[in-house]
């Protein structure tokens, strides 16, 4: 049974992540929001600590991915609170500090989560020290990942990649990129595979960096692959094209990373709510949990609505990670968590800006920054609209061709 409280054994991790967020990330949050594309050198000290947490099984800021714990089944009814739940709990705390800075953390990219989730044992060992970004979106391919046009052509002991990727988080700073490409465009979705492409590989070029609304501490790049030769052993998963399961296997990466993005949204929403509560209290407005909302100040009533959305997002996120720990299919809960948390964090941060008036619209508070940071969490790793479509298909039992 899913417990609504964080497991006691995760208390040390939660405290460590909170201390890092409060003592390091939060104090430099505004600095790197203003200095877009400047690398946050203060983060270097965390790389070794987070590596240690991940390798010890304690879970770090996201790189451990979501995969069944040590292949153990829980069919005997045993409840497991494993690395997936710990990773989500750590991510929430770190993003309470700053989302963009978490995304800038060495070896904690979404590409690392993808590798940790689907790589074989040999690949896990070989790529253990790499900082990996993830490259999926293309100029003519956004939410429909099945429309990818970047090609991977077998040639001897290598694959030759050709194509362009956009909006790649940590695309310039990372050591490698997990690239989605098709082995045969005539075979559609089934031919799409993911490849680990290391920086310095001939034919791999960072074209430019994007200027963004939010998460400015994190670099977002456009990448080009022109006759880029990648070793066959850098393909993640099976090289076989199986029209029944291949694309489903690649798409499972999203089941593994969407709870992490939901956790980012939960952490950011909590930060905004706490700051708003503090500002309202200074203005003499307190939230009374023992009185009905309609008997309280209008700002307090609005705050209670936002807090309810936060709690729902938090519980859905923890459930999706808990299900992964307990070897239960989590595709539907992962999409539900991503949809709810992504939408809620945008609503929460914008309404928090409104509730505190001018303080929410100036740089005197971080609320205006958080309102800008929030929107990306409703977009990347599958937009709000796509998440709702996935949920509808699962609930109604429809295929992608039946419900578009």
Return the minimum-mean-pLDDT range out of 87-91, 231-235, 243-247: 243-247
Mean pLDDT along residues 274-290 = 96
Q: Write the CA distances from 192 to 95, 187, 243, 375, integer angstroms.
A: 32, 9, 10, 28
Instruction: Tell me which CATH code domain 8-126 carries.
Output: 1.10.540
Asked if residue 70 has pLDDT above 60, the reply is no
From 93, 275, 319, 381, the catalytic residue: 381
115 neighbors 236 (Cβ within 8 angstroms): yes
Strand duo 204-209 + 220-231: pairing: antiparallel
The strand pairing partners of 378, in sequence order, are none
Asked if residue 187 has pLDDT above 90, the reply is no
pLDDT tens sequence across 38-67: 999 998 877 655 655 555 555 555 555 555
**Residue 6: predicted pLDDT:** 87
Q: Is 205 considered catalytic here? A: no
94 neighbors 139 (Cβ within 8 angstroms): no
What's the 3-state SS for the chain?
CCCCCCCHHHHHHHHHHHHHHHHHHHHHHHHHHHCCCCCCHHHHHHHHHHHHHHHCCCCCCCCCCCCCHHHCCCCCCCCCCCHHHHHHHHHHHHHHHCHHHHHCCCCCCHHHHHHHHHCCHHHHHHCCCCCEEEECCECCECCCHHHCCCEEEEECCEEEEEEEEEEEECCCCCCEEEEEEECCHHHHHHHEEEEEEECCCCCEEEEEECCCCCCCCCCEEEEEEEEEEEEHHHEECCCCCCCCCHHHHHHHHHHHHHHHHHHHHHHHHHHHHHHHHHHHHHCCCCCCCCCCHHHCCHHHHHHHHHHHHHHHHHHHHHHHHHHHHCCCCCHHHHHHHHHHHHHHHHHHHHHHHHHCHHHHCCCCCCHHHHHHHHHHHHCCCCCHHHHHHHHHHHHHCCCCCCCC
Q: How many CB atoms lie within 10 A of CB 76?
A: 6
Q: What pLDDT band is residue 73 in, cutting at 50, 70 and 90?
A: very low
Q: What pLDDT band is residue 363 in, cutting at 50, 70 and 90?
A: very high
**Residue 50: predicted pLDDT:** 63
pLDDT tens sequence across 85-107: 988 999 999 999 999 999 998 88
Asked if residue 185 has pLDDT above 60, the reply is yes
Provide the token pair at 76. Answer: 């005997």
Residue with the two structure tokens 């993830």:
134
Mean pLDDT along residues 300-328 = 95
Asked if residue 370 has pLDDT above 60, the reply is yes
Gyration radius (Cα) of the chain, Å: 21
Residues 6+ apart with CB under 8 A from 51: 60, 107
Q: What pLDDT band is residue 204 in, cutting at 50, 70 and 90?
A: very high
* C-alpha span between 295 and 300 (Å, rounded): 10
Residue with the two structure tokens 């994190």:
218
pLDDT tens sequence across 121-174: 999 999 988 999 999 999 988 777 778 999 999 999 999 999 999 999 999 999
**Which of 134, 146, 82 shows the shortest CA–CA distance to 108?**
134
Category of 116 on φ-ψ map: left (φ > 0), alpha (ψ -120 to 50) or beta = alpha
**Residue 144: predicted pLDDT:** 74
CATH superfamily of 246-396: Butyryl-CoA Dehydrogenase, subunit A, domain 3 (1.20.140.10)
User: Sign (positive/negative) of CA torsion 259, 181, 135, 124?
Assistant: positive
**Residue 48: predicted pLDDT:** 59
Mean pLDDT along residues 270-291 = 97
Of residues 183 and 244, more confidence is placed in 183
pLDDT tens sequence across 160-173: 999 999 999 999 99
**Residue 249: predicted pLDDT:** 54
* C-alpha span between 81 and 210 (Å, rounded): 39
**Which of 93, 24, 27, 29 shows the shortest CA–CA distance to 60?**
93
What is the residue extent of each domain of the chain? Answer: 8-126, 132-236, 246-396
**Which of 91, 68, 93, 90 shows the shortest CA–CA distance to 80?**
68
**Residue 58: predicted pLDDT:** 54
Asked if residue 304 has pLDDT above 90, the reply is yes
21 neighbors 50 (Cβ within 8 angstroms): no
Provide the token pair at 286. Answer: 């307190």
* C-alpha span between 170 and 110 (Å, rounded): 9
**Residue 246: predicted pLDDT:** 54
Provide the token pair at 335. Answer: 């999409």
Of residues 142 and 250, more confidence is placed in 142
Asked if residue 365 has pLDDT above 60, the reply is yes
Mean pLDDT along residues 299-326 = 95
Q: pLDDT exceeding 90 applies to what percent of the chain?
A: 69
**Which of 282, 284, 306 shows the shortest CA–CA distance to 297?**
284
CATH topology of domain 132-236: Butyryl-CoA Dehydrogenase, subunit A; domain 2 (2.40.110)
Across the chain, what does the average pLDDT equal?
A: 89
**Residue 286: predicted pLDDT:** 94
174 neighbors 115 (Cβ within 8 angstroms): no
**Which of 15, 152, 88 shows the shortest CA–CA distance to 321?**
88
**Residue 278: predicted pLDDT:** 97
């Amino acid at each position: 049974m899913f417990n609504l409280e964080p497991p006691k054994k995760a208390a040390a991790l939660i405290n460590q992540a909170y201390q890092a967020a409060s003592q390091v990330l939060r104090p430099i949050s505004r600095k790197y929001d203003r200095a877009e594309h400047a690398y946050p050198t203060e983060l270097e000290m965390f790389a070794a600590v987070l590596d240690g947490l991940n390798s010890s099984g304690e879970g770090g800021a996201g790189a451990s991915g979501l995969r069944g714990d040590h292949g153990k089944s829980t069919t005997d009814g045993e409840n497991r609170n494993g690395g997936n739940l710990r990773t989500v709990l750590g991510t929430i705390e770190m993003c309470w500090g700053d989302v963009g800075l978490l995304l800038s953390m060495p070896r904690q990219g979404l590409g690392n989560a993808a590798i940790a989730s689907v790589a074989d044992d040999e690949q896990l060992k070989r790529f253990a020290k790499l900082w990996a970004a993830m490259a999926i979106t293309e100029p003519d391919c956004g939410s429909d990942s099945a429309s990818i046009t970047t090609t991977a052509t077998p040639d001897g002991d290598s694959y030759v990649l050709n194509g362009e990727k956009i909006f790649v988080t940590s695309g310039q700073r990372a050591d490698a990129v997990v690239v989605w490409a098709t082995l045969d465009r005539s075979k559609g979705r089934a031919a799409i595979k993911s490849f680990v492409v290391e920086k310095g590989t001939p034919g791999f070029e960072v074209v430019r960096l994007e200027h963004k609304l939010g998460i400015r501490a994190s670099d977002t790049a456009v990448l080009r692959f022109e006759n880029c030769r990648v070793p066959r052993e850098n393909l993640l998963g099976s090289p076989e094209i199986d029209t029944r399961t291949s694309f489903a296997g690649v798409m499972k990466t999203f089941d593994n990373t969407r709870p992490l993005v939901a956790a980012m949204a939960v952490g950011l929403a909590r930060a905004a709510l706490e700051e708003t509560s503090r500002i309202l209290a200074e203005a003499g407005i307190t939230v009374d949990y023992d009185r009905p909302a309609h008997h309280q100040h209008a700002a307090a009533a609005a705050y209670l609505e936002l807090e309810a959305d936060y709690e729902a997002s938090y519980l859905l996120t923890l459930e999706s990670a808990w299900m992964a720990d307990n070897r239960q299919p989590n595709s539907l809960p992962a999409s539900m968590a991503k949809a709810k948390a992504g939408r809620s964090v945008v609503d929460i941060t914008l309404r928090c800006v409104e509730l505190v008036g001018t303080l929410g619209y100036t740089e005197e508070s971080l609320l205006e920054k958080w309102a800008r940071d929030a929107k990306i969490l409703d977009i990347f790793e599958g937009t709000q609209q796509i998440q709702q479509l996935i949920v509808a298909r699962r609930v109604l039992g429809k295929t992608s061709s039946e419900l578009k």
